């Protein structure tokens, strides 16, 4: 019958599997076929997140269309710069493909893509169509190791493109003429403008992607997993700085830009090492320090306090009847409680206070420059905040559940009163927690005022 015969070159007998996709185009078609729009997990996300994502994608299409229509046609110089950036970026991506895949597999929220080093100069120097072509080229290559749902990948791609459009408009308005006649006299001004444009480029991405994460892109939104950690933002600053250097080189010494390929490859490797070091010190469930990370930071703070004769307190926080939560609602609900408590501790303590998860349902906080009164006030504030929490989670059957009215027993140990080493303070605070438990729970107890024996 017409239409039933397989295409030439695709003849196979009954039950035979179709040949595996080969080549770049074949792999792309296979990926698209394996991820039809109707099966995207986007449709399982909160409605406000879906609405935000679709609205932003529509706005991005409109803005980029206007940008392309209003853009001048590329000339020979533009195509030459495009070729240089595309070549350098492709080498960078291919040489760091496996490192990048490992990094992405370990990231659950914010991810800093170092290809911004090549996109940023393109945004400044090239017409919008060539900039979008470069972004498309890089994003297609990233698709094969992104391991992200298609809707997130498309959303991020549009965000990169709109950020590039913003950078292009700012640069053309304030700096294009100055960079063309760069000299020692105006170098500081040009560099400052380029960095401000770079900040705008990065800030738009942070706001839009962070907004999506806050609306449902992550299970427990915090400043760390919405806007990134300190290390994430330093890496973003480094990316923009190198992109600024690439811009200056591309205008004045184009061949020298290949040096940045080596720097970016090394940068990817250093970023992976830094990520591994951070993960070794971070509790995966809550995002705060684990015992190792907390102990390292606490030992340094303790040494500083001892040298300066300063006060210091240690709080041990034990969530009351936590096993009941796991037994009643399931372990995912227990994890939600742990994450919410960690977020609360981060919000109501000072930046210099050191927060960590001790294990199970126990948390630790080291309070530098805290005497008895300050430690008491902080501990009571934490106890009250935990009791006031209303945590929306799921039950064992996957239905919605609300956990509230939880309490905590808190033990407090003071440097010089209960010990002079971290181990002594931990032992004293632990004993105080048991005293609080025996006294009826949901209370703060100070350790006995004596130095433990060595």
Q: Which helix (H) or strand (E) holds 205?
A: helix 187-212
Question: What band does 449 get if pLDDT is binned at 50, 70 and 90?
Answer: confident
Helix (H, G, I), strand (E, B) or coil at 416: coil
pLDDT greater than 60 at residue 370:
yes
Q: Return the pLDDT at 17.
A: 46
Q: Which two tokens stand for residue 10?
A: 């695709």
Domain ranges of the chain: 23-280, 291-446
Q: How far apart are CA 212 and CA 49, in angstroms?
A: 6
Given a contact cutoff of 8 angstroms between Cβ atoms, the answer to whether 171 and 123 are in contact is: yes
Which residues, other chains included, contact 361 with Cβ-Cβ below 8 Å and sequence gap of 6+? 318, 319, 322, 338
Give the span between the Cα atoms of 375 and 223, in whole angstroms.
Answer: 25
Looking at residue 23, its pLDDT comes to: 60
Bridge partners for 445 per DSSP: 411
Predicted pLDDT at 388? 93
**For 306-314, what is the mean pLDDT?**
94
How high is the pLDDT of residue 8?
A: 41
pLDDT at 183 exceeding the cut of 80: no
- 294 in Cβ contact with 364 (< 8 Å): yes
Torsion of CA 436, 442, 446, 447, to 10 degrees: 30
pLDDT of residue 118: 93
Lowest mean pLDDT among 11-25, 249-263, 306-320, 440-454: 11-25
pLDDT at 193: 86
Q: Is the pLDDT of residue 4 over 50?
A: no
Q: What is the mean pLDDT of residues 31-35?
A: 61
Lowest mean pLDDT among 11-25, 59-73, 230-244, 365-379: 11-25
Could you report the per-residue pLDDT of 253-286, keeping only the tens digit for each? 999 998 988 888 887 777 667 767 776 788 888 8
| Residue whose tokens read 């907390």 | 294
Q: What is the mean pLDDT of residues 65-80?
A: 94
Is the pLDDT higher at 368 or at 47?
368
- Kind of pairing, strands 444-446 and 354-359? unpaired
Would the pLDDT of 401 be above 70?
A: yes
Question: What per-residue confidence (pLDDT) applies to 454?
Answer: 39
Banded pLDDT at 107 (limits 50, 70, 90): low
Helix (H) or strand (E) holding 358: strand 354-359
CB atoms within 10 A of CB 81: 21
Confidence of residue 442 (pLDDT cuts 50, 70, 90): very high
What's the confidence (pLDDT) of residue 301? 95
Residue (of 196, 161, 202, 160) closest to 175 by Cα position:
196
Question: Could you give the 3-state DSSP secondary structure of residue 153?
Answer: helix
Q: Average pLDDT over the chain, rounded to whole? A: 83
Is 422's pLDDT higher than 80?
yes
The whole-angstrom separation of Cα 177 and Cα 171 is 9
Element housing 355 (H / E)? strand 354-359
* pLDDT for the residue numbered 221: 63
pLDDT higher than threshold 80 for residue 135: yes
Residue 362 has pLDDT above 70, yes or no: yes
Top-confidence residue, 187 or 250:
250
SS3 of residue 378 by DSSP: helix
pLDDT for residue 6 is more than 60 = no
* Residue pair 235/271 in contact by the 8 Å Cβ criterion: yes
Predicted confidence (pLDDT) at residue 133 exceeds the cutoff of 50: yes
Phi, psi of 112 (to 5 degrees): -95, 120
Q: Kindly tell me the burial class for residue 313, based on how many C-beta atoms sit within 10 Å of its own C-beta (0-12, 13-18, 19 or more).
A: buried
What is the pLDDT, as a whole number, of residue 219?
57
Of the candidate ranges 11-25, 146-160, 199-213, 282-296, the one whose mean pLDDT is the lowest: 11-25
Q: What one-character DSSP code corresponds to residue 215?
A: I
Task: Please answer whether residues 42 and 153 qualify as being in contact, where contact means their C-beta atoms are separated by less than 8 angstroms.
Answer: no
Question: Tens of pLDDT along 185-242?
Answer: 777 888 888 889 999 999 999 899 888 887 876 655 666 667 777 777 787 888 888 9
Q: Assign domain 291-446 to its CATH architecture.
A: 2-Layer Sandwich (3.30)
Among 172-186, 193-207, 305-319, 386-400, the range of highest mean pLDDT: 305-319
Q: Which two tokens stand for residue 24?
A: 């770049």
277-304 mean pLDDT: 88
Count of beta carbons in the 10 Å neighbourhood of residue 244:
21
pLDDT for 38: 64
Residues contacting residue 427 through CB under 8 Å, at least 6 positions apart: 419, 452
**Average pLDDT score over residue span 404-427:** 94
CA separation for the pair 122, 161 (Å, rounded): 11
Contacts of 11 (CB under 8 A, 6+ apart): none
Query: What integer pLDDT is reported at residue 178 of this predicted model?
Result: 67
Q: State residue 1's pLDDT score.
A: 45
Per-residue model confidence (pLDDT) at position 440: 93
Tell me the average pLDDT across 400-429: 93
DSSP letter assigned to residue 43: G
| 33 vs 49 pLDDT, higher one | 49
pTM summary value: 0.60
Burial class (CB in 10 A: 0-12, 13-18, 19+), 123: buried
Which range among 13-27, 395-409, 424-438 has the greatest average pLDDT? 424-438
Instruction: Report the alpha-carbon angle 6-12-15, nearest 5.
Output: 115
Residue 302: predicted pLDDT: 95
């Amino acid at each position: 019958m017409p239409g039933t015969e397989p295409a030439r070159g695709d003849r196979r007998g009954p039950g035979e599997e179709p040949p595996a996709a080969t080549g770049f185009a074949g792999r792309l078609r296979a990926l698209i076929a394996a991820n039809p729009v109707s099966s995207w997990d986007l449709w399982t996300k909160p409605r406000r997140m879906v609405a935000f994502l679709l609205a932003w994608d529509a706005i991005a299409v409109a803005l980029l269309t206007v940008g392309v229509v209003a853009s001048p046609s590329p000339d020979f110089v533009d195509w030459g710069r495009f070729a240089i950036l595309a070549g350098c970026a492709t080498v960078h991506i291919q040489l760091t493909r496996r490192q990048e895949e490992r990094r992405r597999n370990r990231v659950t929220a914010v991810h800093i893509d170092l290809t911004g080093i090549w996109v940023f100069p393109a945004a400044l120097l090239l017409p919008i169509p060539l900039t979008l072509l470069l972004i498309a080229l890089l994003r297609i290559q990233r698709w094969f190791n992104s391991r992200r749902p298609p809707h997130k990948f498309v959303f991020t791609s549009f965000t990169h493109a709109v950020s590039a459009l913003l950078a292009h408009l700012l640069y053309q308005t304030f700096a294009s003429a100055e960079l063309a006649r760069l000299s020692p006299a105006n170098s500081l001004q040009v560099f400052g403008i380029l960095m401000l444009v770079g900040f705008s480029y990065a800030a738009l991405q942070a706001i839009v992607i962070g907004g999506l994460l806050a609306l449902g892109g992550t299970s427990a939104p915090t400043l760390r997993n919405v806007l990134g950690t300190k290390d994430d933002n330093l890496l973003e600053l480094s990316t923009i700085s190198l992109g600024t250097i690439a811009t200056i080189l591309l205008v004045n010494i184009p061949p020298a830009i290949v040096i940045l390929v080596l720097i970016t490859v090394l940068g990817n490797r250093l970023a992976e090492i830094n990520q591994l070091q951070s993960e070794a010190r971070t509790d995966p469930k809550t995002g705060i320090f684990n015992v190792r990370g907390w102990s390292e930071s606490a030992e340094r703070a303790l040494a500083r306090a001892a040298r300066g004769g300063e006060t210091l307190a240690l709080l041990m926080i034990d969530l009351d009847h936590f096993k009941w939560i796991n037994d009643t609602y399931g372990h995912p609900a227990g994890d939600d409680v742990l994450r919410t408590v960690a977020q609360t501790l981060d919000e109501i303590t000072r930046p210099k206070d050191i927060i960590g998860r001790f294990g199970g349902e126990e948390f630790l906080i080291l309070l530098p420059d805290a005497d008895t009164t300050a430690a008491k006030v902080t501990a009571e504030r934490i106890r009250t905040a935990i009791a006031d929490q209303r945590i929306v989670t799921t039950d064992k059957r996957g239905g919605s559940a609300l956990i509230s009215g939880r309490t905590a027993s808190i033990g407090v140990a003071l440097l010089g009163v209960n010990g002079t080493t971290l181990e002594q303070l931990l032992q004293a605070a632990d004993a105080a927690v048991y005293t609080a438990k025996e006294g009826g729970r949901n209370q703060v107890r100070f350790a006995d005022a004596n130095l433990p024996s060595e």
